[in-house]
Chain A
Amino acid sequence: MPGMSSGLNINDPIVVAAFRSALLHQGIAALLIFAVLVVAWVAIREWRPPGAREVRAARNARATAAMTAEPGWRQVLRIGFGLLWLFDGILQAQPAMAVGLPSQVIEPSATSSPDWVQHLVNWAGTAWSYHPVEAAAATVWIQVGIGLWLLFAARGPLSRAAGVVSFGWGLIVWVFGESFGEVLAPGLSWLTGAPGGVAFYCVAGGLIALPARYWRSSLLARFLAGGTGVFLAGMAVLQAWPGRGFWQGTFRGQPGSLTSMIQDMASTSQPRALASLVTSFGSFVRAHGFAVNLLAVIALAVLGLALLAAALPGTGQAAQRQEAAEPASAGQAATWQAVTRQASTKQAGTGQAVAGQAGSGQPARAPDSAEERGRSGASRLRLVLLQAATGALVALCLVVWVLVQDFGFFGGLGTDPNSMVPMALLAVAAYMAMADALQPAEPQVPARAQAAARVAGSSAPAAAAAVTRVAVTGSATAAGLAADSTAATVTGSAGAASAPAATATGPAAAPAVTATGPAAASAPAVTATGPAAAAAYPGAAASSAAGPADQAATVSPAADTDTDADTNRTDNANNTGGTGPASPSGPAQPGRSWRSRIGPAALAHSFGIAGIRTVLSASAVGVIILGVIPMAAAQASPSAAPILAEAIDGSSAPLHSAAPPFALTDQNGRHVSLAGLRGKVILLTFLDPVCVTDCPLEAQEFRQAGMLLGADARKVELVAVNLNPLYSSTAYTNAFDRQERLANVPNWLFLTGSPAQLRPIWKNYGVASEALPAGSMLGHSDAAFVIGPAGQLREELNFDPGPGTAATQSSFATELATAARTALGSS
């Protein structure tokens, strides 16, 4: 009956089954992608020509040497947000997501926002609703893919690309899924999730995407910590802003803003214990709203100011020193800083101050003036402040996450764990970055050493000087030259001076390496700086010899055993412009065109020498593409998927009988009969011209079906018969046509007649109508019929339009057009 439609259930079994089926199929495809790529990788590695393995080892060594070690804050962001994306992807696979996300999550989030935001968000919601299964499945795989990509790709361009994609997708979700985090709506509060959880994903993505030369930038560290401080301070101001309902637990008998939020969260489906906990806290806030808000304001303000104070310029002595002795390029400076910091880290771990002595003949550097000692003390103080603020912030985030945001992902339509977990991750990352910046003073890099480092590789003595300086700062540096996993195991062991690599680096380097000891065990890496390597690893040696010194200096003590194919390619490309010959078996020989470098053979080669992380990252990209392609293909269609109509009304029923005749008057007063329409397919329905709900929707579905039919519309008549015995004059069918913009549709007929004429037709077609009391519109059944050109009934469609959204209307129109085409085709 019109008006009694239940709409489209978010757990509609037809849509849920289709969603599960899509996930299953795409999941199998995703596993196949992983399997095929891994098998291909293993196969190519195993079937490579003799010598290729050595080439790979050399390339790995060189590529590793070319990469800066990933700092801790980046690891936290990459792994943390990788896991979050993965978790979000899994949440997106909940059964209700396909239908429920636009209507229950996306559009409600925009209701308080300005009109233009609502318009934008509703547009996105409609686009999703047109193809809910494809959209929901795509979201699952995109987010799972991004998560895996972030987890697998630790360094190199592929890792940065993961950051870019994470930022981009986060931005899409933030704009369309979270209505700009509702920052334009009243009631903005950090406690309730402002500025939107995904905004933090975007920030993290952007930071992960930064080039390596910024990883150790003290400015970046201050920006991170200071930005967090400013954000928290701003949120404190907002939280304290009067008139926003946060100071009251209740207001005029109604729950205050925070109470209301907590009560809403507590009412979602979740474990009973948790619901009880959150409910209790809601009651507490209701009773002590002022105190809770005061506490929140103070906490936010204090933490914000503490982070801001810690981030003020001039607090990082290492940074100061670096600034004072700023090298020629920021990239080199960062690289050098990385080296020194790694060294100092290792020093701390092994207590090998002797390394410095051995390398330079000087005692380990200590604060040598009162001013420096003062600075060092201030730095320690700020570090403690930062540590305390970060710890408190993380604790606050966890408390708010549990008690206010109720974890954020319960209820069947939770899309993410809300804002507190990403916020805490960013806070920890900011702390780690700042802690690096606030490290105790490092020895200065003399300009000549930097210059030497810049030219290392082209001049053995200069390289030696550079390596010597590295050694001064700690033993690990040389160990870091090792590209192989053995580097870690040999770090700290001494007396490797006899390693061939040591001799290969030239006399000047030998003492340094001898002093640092462990590096020598990783001969391949060390040989990268000397000509001796050329004998055993021609490609590596040649390219290393041509490589810039900062590559040699930017070695990692925790060097990954893996390298990225992209990195290899980049290196190869760089090296082609250098002075040394490239590997004879490699694809990146000088003078080779880009076409040859991306040819199947070259790609296969690159693939074969890539590390497992690269292969897995490529598989993750494949998973994203796997999700995107079906969605893109679906969105290319202007009409909605017919599954919506099927979900609302079930399948149509085939008929095989003569259509009952009718002879009535159309909206223009002309006599129209079924016999007169013979030769055309008729889409027939029954409408009430003064209906306030379903009939206008059904009329629009007919109109859209006519448009979808295109040229075939000439062979189809769209016919409605009046169902209202009281409002039966052509004045009303005309008024209805004007209202529904049907007056100019050439093949539209709204037929009417006297009640005596109409009643037999209703009866013959099995359409019931009923006068309802007390101001209700006429009750009637919703049905549509397909009548073939010969006047035979072909099909009956249940025609309750459901919720009447643009998507469901389009879906019904698609169903009608398809039925008309079928009737045309079989005639």
Chain B
Amino acid sequence: MSSAAGKSAGDTRRRAMARRAVAVTAVLLAAVVAAGGCSSTGRRSASPAQRAVSLPLVTSVAAGRTTWAVVPMGAAAGPNLFWELFALPAHGSKWRLATPPDVATNGAIALSIQGSQSLVAGIHPSLMLHFSPITSTADGGRSWATGAPDPGLASVPDALAITPDATRLMALDRNGGADVATIQRAPGGHGITGPARWTTLVSARALAATAAGRGCRLTTLTAAAFASSGTPLLGGSCGRPGVAGIFALAGGRWRAAGPELSSLPATLRQRKVQVLRLVRTGSRLTALLQVGSGAGASLVSAWANEASGVGSTTVASEMNGGAWSLSPPLRLAGLTMTSSSFGRSGATAVTLARPGSAGQHGQYVSGTGSLWHELPALPPGRTLALALPAGGDVDALAADGSILTAWQLRRGTRWVKTQTSKVPIQYGSSS
């Protein structure tokens, strides 16, 4: 009897131990698998509040007598990547290096053009420089003067704007707001000088709280420009589908000034819109919009019909809705925009690439009433920027390491190499 009881107790104990062993085994196995699985697949996504707006910074703008282009050269990334500014004079055939001196351009250059040869450049923060030096030239990049440093430009190509009369600057900062600074002509006419500090014009949050901002459900500011009248214009991303978030400060109030999208296909009218560019070239204000996202996204170019000398309130009113002309949508079909370029009359060209692929495509629209045209297969190069200088030409700047190669589109069918330059990049100077 006692033996049986003992055996039973032993069996019970063994079963309990077996259960424990199985449980411990299962837990350990699960922990190992979970650790490995999580570690292999875990991706941390940034919360919306942490999401920084970043748009392709490769660009060219033709204004006045000069066409300007900004392209990255040197290394593909890191402290040996330098952004270079090139200038092509009207009727000239050679692009000239015009990068501002005495400051590192590891963090791109934001341009704002004023006049025929005047340009204001803002240096994007990079490495250990957290604010943005502002510099300007009035002679096509031969000599430079400095303005007041900005607290730190946002990583968008249109982070800097100057009024046509060169009295005020506006900048988008990294905190999502817009700042303004009153500027002066530098002695001798070489560029600008500025006040000691910038003042906040409006924050993205404050703009989103206005009636115009609520109507668009503004999430972020992406572009700044001035109307020809000097009216500050801001572009952004809207959370409300079918609304293009362009705002004008008129009469002391921010008003919606974006184009109506009713001419777009119905499917696109239900998509969210992001203002990629807001560029004034001469008297023409051009906006480049992305409608939708992902594989179904399209690009739309919009041109404002500005009238010189019109009061600011009127401008805002006129620009709203029907004051804009829209291009037909360009379906991206999974491609992403890698550069955007603007000609004098509002002509727009973009380069597109499939993520992870080296090949690029070029698309071009000449202005109101025109269709997008696909350009012939683009020349090779790690980075490509199209340029639309005077005369209806289309240039392609191909940058690869220290070598810049310029190509020109002849008869709309083939690219002809017009220039090869070795840019004296100082590798290691920023590391």
Which residues of A approach B to under 8 Å, CB–CB? 1-4, 114, 183-188, 219, 222, 226-227, 230-231, 233-235, 237-238, 241, 243-244, 308, 311-314, 320, 323-324, 690-693, 696-697, 724-727, 729-732, 734-735, 738-739, 771-779
Residues A231 and B18 in contact, CB atoms below 8 Å apart:
no
Residues B102 and A725 in contact, CB atoms below 8 Å apart:
yes
Residues B39 and A188 in contact, CB atoms below 8 Å apart:
yes
Bound Cα distance A244, B25 (Å): 24
3 tightest CB-CB pairs across the interface, nearest first? A234-B32, A775-B105, A777-B104
Residues A324 and B6 in contact, CB atoms below 8 Å apart:
yes
Enumerate chain A residues within 8 angstroms of B99, measured Cβ to Cβ.
773-775
Q: Which of B32, B106, B423, B425 neighbours the largest number of chain A CB atoms within 10 Å of its CB?
A: B32
Interface residues in B101-155 by Cβ distance below 8 A to A read 101-106, 123, 126-131, 133, 135, 144, 146, 148-149
Bound Cα distance A324, B84 (Å): 84
- Known A-B contacts A237-B32, A690-B104, A775-B84; the reply to A732 vs B146 at CB < 8 A is yes
Query: Which residue from chain A places its CB closest to the CB of B106 in the assembled complex?
Result: A692
B82 at the interface (CB under 8 A from A): yes
Residues B18 and A779 in contact, CB atoms below 8 Å apart:
no
B13 at the interface (CB under 8 A from A): yes
Enumerate chain A residues within 8 angstroms of B431, measured Cβ to Cβ.
3, 693
Query: Which residue from chain A places its CB closest to the CB of B21 in the assembled complex?
Result: A313
- Known A-B contacts A244-B40, A693-B430; the reply to A314 vs B129 at CB < 8 A is no
Enumerate chain A residues within 8 angstroms of B104, measured Cβ to Cβ.
690-692, 775-777
Chain B interface: which size bin?
A: 35 or more
Enumerate chain A residues within 8 angstroms of B44, measured Cβ to Cβ.
114
Query: Which residue from chain B places its CB closest to the CB of A773 in the assembled complex?
Result: B424
Residues A692 and B97 in contact, CB atoms below 8 Å apart:
no
Enumerate chain A residues within 8 angstroms of B36, measured Cβ to Cβ.
188, 234, 237-238, 241, 244
B426 at the interface (CB under 8 A from A): yes
Bound Cα distance A163, B36 (Å): 29
Residues A729 and B146 in contact, CB atoms below 8 Å apart:
yes
Expressed in whole angstroms, the minimum distance between the Cβ of A318 and any Cβ of chain B is: 14
Chain A to chain B contacts (Cβ below 8 Å), 25 pairs: A1-B429, A183-B35, A183-B39, A184-B35, A230-B24, A234-B28, A237-B36, A243-B40, A311-B21, A320-B10, A324-B6, A692-B79, A692-B126, A696-B129, A726-B135, A727-B133, A731-B196, A731-B197, A739-B131, A773-B424, A774-B73, A775-B83, A775-B106, A777-B429, A779-B429
Residues A726 and B18 in contact, CB atoms below 8 Å apart:
no
Enumerate chain A residues within 8 angstroms of B149, measured Cβ to Cβ.
690, 731-732, 735
Bound Cα distance A91, B100 (Å): 51
Query: Which residue from chain B places its CB closest to the CB of A112 in the assembled complex?
Result: B39
B29 at the interface (CB under 8 A from A): yes
Q: Which of A183, A184, A311, A690 neighbours the largest number of chain B CB atoms within 10 Å of its CB?
A: A690
Enumerate chain A residues within 8 angstroms of B135, measured Cβ to Cβ.
726
Complex partner residue of A692 from B127, B148, B425, B428, CB under 8 angstroms: B127
Residues A241 and B105 in contact, CB atoms below 8 Å apart:
no
B50 at the interface (CB under 8 A from A): no
Enumerate chain A residues within 8 angstroms of B197, measured Cβ to Cβ.
731
Residues A696 and B430 in contact, CB atoms below 8 Å apart:
no
B17 at the interface (CB under 8 A from A): yes
Complex partner residue of A731 from B29, B33, B194, B428, CB under 8 angstroms: B194
Query: Which residue from chain A places its CB closest to the CB of B125 in the assembled complex?
Result: A692
Enumerate chain A residues within 8 angstroms of B35, measured Cβ to Cβ.
183-184, 188
Kindly supply a per-residue 1/0 record for chain B positions 352-391, scoring 1 wherever the CB is within 8 Å of any chain A CB and 0 otherwise.
0000000000000000000000000000000000000000
Query: Which residue from chain B places its CB closest to the CB of A804 in the assembled complex?
Result: B128
Chain A interface, >50% SS class = loop
Enumerate chain B residues within 8 angstroms of A690, measured Cβ to Cβ.
102-104, 123, 129, 133, 149
Complex partner residue of B33 from A3, A237, A724, CB under 8 angstroms: A237
- Known A-B contacts A324-B10, A692-B104, A725-B102; the reply to A774 vs B426 at CB < 8 A is yes
Residues A727 and B6 in contact, CB atoms below 8 Å apart:
no
B41 at the interface (CB under 8 A from A): yes
Enumerate chain B residues within 8 angstroms of A186, measured Cβ to Cβ.
39-42
Residues A238 and B33 in contact, CB atoms below 8 Å apart:
yes
Bound Cα distance A774, B101 (Å): 8
- Known A-B contacts A324-B6, A692-B126, A727-B103; the reply to A237 vs B146 at CB < 8 A is no
Residues B14 and A3 in contact, CB atoms below 8 Å apart:
no
Residues A188 and B40 in contact, CB atoms below 8 Å apart:
yes
- Known A-B contacts A244-B40, A323-B10; the reply to A773 vs B426 at CB < 8 A is yes
Query: Which residue from chain B places its CB closest to the CB of A777 in the assembled complex?
Result: B104
Bound Cα distance A1, B100 (Å): 20
Residues A235 and B32 in contact, CB atoms below 8 Å apart:
yes
Bound Cα distance A553, B39 (Å): 52
Expressed in whole angstroms, the minimum distance between the Cβ of A241 and any Cβ of chain B is: 6
Expressed in whole angstroms, the minimum distance between the Cβ of B13 and any Cβ of chain A is: 7
Enumerate chain A residues within 8 angstroms of B33, measured Cβ to Cβ.
234, 237-238, 241
B92 at the interface (CB under 8 A from A): no
Bound Cα distance A725, B42 (Å): 50
- Known A-B contacts A188-B35, A188-B36; the reply to A312 vs B103 at CB < 8 A is no
Enumerate chain B residues within 8 angstroms of A697, measured Cβ to Cβ.
128
B37 at the interface (CB under 8 A from A): yes
Query: Which residue from chain B places its CB closest to the CB of A324 in the assembled complex?
Result: B10
Interface residues in B1-38 by Cβ distance below 8 A to A read 6-7, 10, 13-14, 17-18, 21, 24-25, 28-29, 31-33, 35-37
Bound Cα distance A234, B30 (Å): 8
- Known A-B contacts A233-B29, A237-B33, A771-B101; the reply to A696 vs B128 at CB < 8 A is yes
Interface residues in B373-431 by Cβ distance below 8 A to A read 423-426, 428-431
Enumerate chain A residues within 8 angstroms of B25, measured Cβ to Cβ.
226, 230, 308
Bound Cα distance A744, B119 (Å): 35
Bound Cα distance A125, B197 (Å): 40
Q: Which of B83, B105, B430 neighbours the largest number of chain A CB atoms within 10 Å of its CB?
A: B430
Residues B29 and A778 in contact, CB atoms below 8 Å apart:
no
Expressed in whole angstroms, the minimum distance between the Cβ of A732 and any Cβ of chain B is: 6
Query: Which residue from chain A places its CB closest to the CB of B147 in the assembled complex?
Result: A731
Residues B146 and A323 in contact, CB atoms below 8 Å apart:
no
Expressed in whole angstroms, the minimum distance between the Cβ of B96 and any Cβ of chain A is: 12
- Known A-B contacts A692-B104, A776-B82; the reply to A735 vs B131 at CB < 8 A is yes
